[in-house]
């Protein structure tokens, strides 16, 4: 049926659009960058949003923030953005939080409910807390580095935090994340050297602050960056494109192949084939419903793996170990390695995912819970 997202569906297909409709994205910080992230995701068909920001719209936001006009000055950003989302997609679900994310209130947010997290806040402590919480819950996250004092929208690119350069905020984040043993983080950053803002006291926010009552004042900032209409917008749209790309990846296609390979390899040593097939089909229906988050889907994959190897009952993991032919074990290992090789060529899915699977299977083969039958 023709709808407001039909033109997008011509590029992504119905399956991807259905997945986007069932996806839930949390955007922390909905200013110059975050506002455009939400705008693009809403216009692309994402069905559920959690938007978090404690700020109100200021007159000085009008030059760069998509939600800022003279009609909205003084209103909470999340309230204005919620109305904008619903004007684009009346069926969307929007949760608003008038707060600033910090390590002190991070327990108020359950990241396992999110399919993706966008970090568009401007303080290092909040960024670090977001990254650590997202990685702990296995929720994909993308973080925006500095967009202030920049003039070239073409200088932005997507990279791992440890491959960034020039950006002062990225340099601090690299240092802090390395101390915390964070191995990777997808970011959007610019290689453009920041431009030093002019010192014009006649238009300085320090002496002519017009921030709405009840918000963080410009005067408490160490530096007040210059900005324009196109740099934050470019960063936000680039982030949205990455979120869209990751959400529409067909993660579970490889999971299905792996599961069916395990199923095919389980021989008469312990698991009845009809029972395994029934369980696999039930699992795939749940997996492909797209109503579960990535972290939940990840846990489901391993739950099924253990069920398949342990006669569909976790208690029998200890009481009644399953026997699998040695040839079946090597077949599974060979399959995992071939998928890793395929990933290297296609860059479809995280390499660590399948390395972990291969190591997990290898580990299982040496535990005393599962007996691998040598034939």
Q: Are residues 330 and 267 in the same domain?
A: yes
Q: Are residues 257 and 243 in the same domain?
A: no
Our count of domains for the chain comes to 2
Q: Are residues 330 and 187 in the same domain?
A: no
Task: Summarize pLDDT for 332-345 with one digit per residue, the tens.
Answer: 556 656 655 665 55
Q: Which of 247, 282, 308 is a domain's end point?
A: 247
Task: Report yes or no on 1 lying in a domain.
Answer: no
More confident residue, 160 or 211: 160
Q: What's the CA gap between 217 and 219, in Å, rounded?
A: 5
Q: Are residues 209 and 270 in the same domain?
A: no
User: Is residue 146 within 8 Å of 193, Cβ to Cβ?
Assistant: no
Query: 60: domain CATH number?
Result: 3.40.50.720
Q: Which of 247, 262, 279 is a domain's end point?
A: 247
Q: Are residues 64 and 187 in the same domain?
A: yes
Task: Report yes or no on 33 lying in a domain.
Answer: yes
> Between the CA of residue 4 and those of 18, 93, 229, what are the distances in Å?
14, 16, 26
In the predicted structure, residue 132 carries a pLDDT above the cut 50: yes
Task: Summarize pLDDT for 94-130 with one digit per residue, the tens.
Answer: 999 999 999 899 999 999 999 999 999 999 999 999 9
User: Is residue 66 within 8 Å of 38, Cβ to Cβ?
Assistant: no
Q: Are residues 275 and 218 in the same domain?
A: no
Tell me the residue range of the domain where 256 lies: 251-373
Q: Are residues 103 and 152 in the same domain?
A: yes
In the predicted structure, residue 59 carries a pLDDT above the cut 50: yes
Q: Are residues 243 and 335 in the same domain?
A: no
Alpha helices in the chain (DSSP H): 6-12, 14-21, 34-44, 77-88, 124-136, 168-179, 231-247, 251-265, 273-287, 294-309, 316-319, 326-346, 351-364
Q: What's the rounded mean pLDDT across residues 60-72? A: 96
User: Is residue 67 within 8 Å of 34, Cβ to Cβ?
Assistant: no
Task: Report yes or no on 81 lying in a domain.
Answer: yes
Task: Summarize pLDDT for 220-234 with one digit per residue, the tens.
Answer: 566 788 999 999 999
Mean pLDDT of all residues in the chain?
A: 78
Q: Which of 216, 247, 278 is a domain's end point?
A: 247
Q: Are residues 369 and 346 in the same domain?
A: yes
Q: Are residues 86 and 130 in the same domain?
A: yes
Q: Are residues 186 and 105 in the same domain?
A: yes
Q: What's the CA gap between 18 and 13, in Å, rounded?
A: 9
* Gap between the terminal Cα atoms of the chain: 57
């Amino acid at each position: 049926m023709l709808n407001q997202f039909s033109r997008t569906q011509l590029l992504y297909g119905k399956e991807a659009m259905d997945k986007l409709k069932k996806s839930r994205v949390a955007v922390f910080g909905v200013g110059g960058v975050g506002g455009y992230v939400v705008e693009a995701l809403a216009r692309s068909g994402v069905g559920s949003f959690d938007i978090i920001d404690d700020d109100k719209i200021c007159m000085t936001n009008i030059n760069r923030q998509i939600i800022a006009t003279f009609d909205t000055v003084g209103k909470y950003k999340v309230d204005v953005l919620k109305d904008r989302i619903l004007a684009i997609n009346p069926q969307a679900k929007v949760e608003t939080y008038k707060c600033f994310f910090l390590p002190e209130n991070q327990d108020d947010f359950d990241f396992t409910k999110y399919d993706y997290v966008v970090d568009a806040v401007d303080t290092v402590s909040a960024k670090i807390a977001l990254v650590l919480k997202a990685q702990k819950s296995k929720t994909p996250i993308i973080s925006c580095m500095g967009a202030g004092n920049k003039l070239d929208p073409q200088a932005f690119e997507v990279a791992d935090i440890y491959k960034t350069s020039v950006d002062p905020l990225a340099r601090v984040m690299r240092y802090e994340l390395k101390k915390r043993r964070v191995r990777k983080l997808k970011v959007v950053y610019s290689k453009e050297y920041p431009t030093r803002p002019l010192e014009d006291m006649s238009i300085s926010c320090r002496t002519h602050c017009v921030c709405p009552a009840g918000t963080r004042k410009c005067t408490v900032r160490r530096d007040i960056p210059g900005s324009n209409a196109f740099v934050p917008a470019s960063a936000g749209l680039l982030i949205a494109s990455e979120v869209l790309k990751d959400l529409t990846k067909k993660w579970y296609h490889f999971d299905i192949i792996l599961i069916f390979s395990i199923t095919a390899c389980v021989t008469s040593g312990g698991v009845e084939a009809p029972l395994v097939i029934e369980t696999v089909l039930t699992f795939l229906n749940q997996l492909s419903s797209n109503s579960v988050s990535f972290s939940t889907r990840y846990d489901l994959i391993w739950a099924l793996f253990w069920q398949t190897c342990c006669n569909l009952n976790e208690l029998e993991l200890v009481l009644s170990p399953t026997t699998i032919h040695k040839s079946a074990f090597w077949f599974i290992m060979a399959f995992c390695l071939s998928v890793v090789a395929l990933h290297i060529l296609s860059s479809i899915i995280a390499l660590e995912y399948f390395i972990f699977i291969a190591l997990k299977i290898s580990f299982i083969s040496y535990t005393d819970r599962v007996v691998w039958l040598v034939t």
